[in-house]
Structure 1
Amino acid sequence: MGRNNLDLVDPNGVPMIKNLMAVAERGMGFIYNVYPNPAADNVDELKLVGVQKVDDDLWIGSGI
């Protein structure tokens, strides 16, 4: 069973999923958040995330 990540926040308390949803509602855009990088011993790093709204029920995002 999946899990609900709606209230997921970064280490600074910034709401990651809710911010992505707000950007997707505008059509598309980018946000930064802080992310524990598993490739670097979980050191907190900035992550750029892009998101695009497909329709009212679907949006696609990717980050680096």
Structure 2
Amino acid sequence: MHTGTPAELREREQRARQIAQQVATLLNQIRDLGGHPAMGNLIIPGVDIRCSGGTWSVR
């Protein structure tokens, strides 16, 4: 649970979203190498990384 200011929370959520986007990009690059199809989702506070139709994205 976050105990800082609302501004700190927004900064942390923004940073988490940036990292999640990097993760989604890496998962798509791995997929493009011809590996096995991946599926599922990764959930962290404020961010959901999902594989839909074979493409990873951040929601």
TM range (shorter): 0.3 to 0.5
> Which protein shows a greater Rg?
2
Higher relative contact order (CA 8 A, sep 6+): 2
* Structure in which a larger fraction of residues adopt helix: 2
Q: TM-score, normalised by structure 2?
A: 0.32
